[in-house]
């Protein structure tokens, strides 16, 4: 998979993404806003394991945010299960040298469009830690709507915190709601080896 937007792209991970992923991912300012599954410090072994997991997925749901020459971050979605199987959680992080240029917004727009075209999903959502207005802004600019406050829903960096819930709905009905549409990939088939959180 590869979707280009200007000089940037989201694309499938490849093994040689590990050094830049470790370089940009080894940053407390990144770690502080994402799940603890991404450790700090973040080494080359952590990046290699992440990439191995992402490359083993079928269907693929975790991608690199990249320049023409290197991976500069990560974006993905985690399909939910059972009665929530038409929903997926999105997540992303970007290397700090690239912040403030609209890259995360463009990447999220691309992933959102790809997810609704390729997967049988009606809802994408994200949870944002209460101290992360930049990510809330990214979601709003990508068309996600604020749905509410998830009180004390996370413990991060030693603090129990609130999170903001954002979501976007697919404009057309999902395949499961219509007859005769083009079959889409079932998100329910994501393997157990998939990472626990999109990024
Ligand atoms: C959040 C993150 C992905 C944003 O990436 P980015 O490429 O800089 O985002 P964009 O440039 O597309 O948009 C950021 C917006 O937030 C705004 N912003 C930045 N800091 C802000 C702050 N403290 N308060 C309010 N808005 C802020 C920017 O001005 C920009 O909005 P604008 O285009 O209207 O000016 C990046 O900072 C990051 O990777 N952070 C660490 C990991 C993380 O937070 N992941 C998301 C978890 S939910």
Whether the per-residue pLDDT at 102 is higher than 90: the answer is yes
Mean pLDDT of 166-178: 76
Characterize the bridge pairing of strands 71-79 and 62-66. Answer: antiparallel
Which residue, by CA, sits nearest to atom 18 of ligand 1?
134
Report all structural domains of the chain as residue ranges with CATH numbers, in order of start.
2-183 (3.40.630.30)
Give backbone dihedrals phi and psi of 28, rounded to 5 degrees, phi first: -60, -30
Residues 6 or more apart in contact with residue 90 via CB below 8 angstroms: 75, 76, 77, 78, 108, 111, 112, 115, 124, 125, 126, 198
> The whole model's pTM is what?
0.93
Gap from CA of 94 to ligand 1 centroid (Å): 9
Model confidence at 37, pLDDT cuts 50, 70, 90, reads very high
Gap from CA of 184 to ligand 1 centroid (Å): 32
């Amino acid at each position: 998979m590869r979707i280009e937007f200007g000089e940037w792209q989201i694309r499938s991970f490849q093994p040689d993404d590990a050094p830049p992923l470790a370089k940009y991912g080894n940053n407390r300012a990144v770690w502080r806003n994402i799940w603890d599954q991404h450790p700090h410090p973040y080494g080359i072994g952590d990046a290699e394991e992440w990439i191995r997991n992402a490359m083993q997925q079928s269907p693929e749901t975790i991608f690199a945010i990249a320049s023409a020459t290197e991976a500069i971050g990560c974006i993905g979605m985690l399909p939910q299960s059972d009665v929530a199987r038409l929903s997926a959680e999105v997540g992303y992080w970007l290397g700090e040298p690239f912040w403030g240029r609209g890259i995360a917004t463009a990447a999220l727009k691309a992933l959102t469009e790809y997810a609704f075209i390729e997967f049988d999903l009606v809802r994408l959502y994200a949870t944002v830690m209460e101290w992360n207005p930049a990510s809330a802004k990214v979601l709003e600019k990508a068309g996600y709507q604020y749905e509410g406050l998830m009180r004390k829903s996370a413990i991060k960096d030693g603090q129990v915190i609130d999170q903001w819930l954002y979501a976007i709905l697919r404009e057309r009905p999902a395949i499961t709601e219509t007859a005769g549409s083009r079959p889409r990939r079932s998100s329910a088939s994501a393997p157990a080896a998939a990472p626990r959180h999109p990024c």
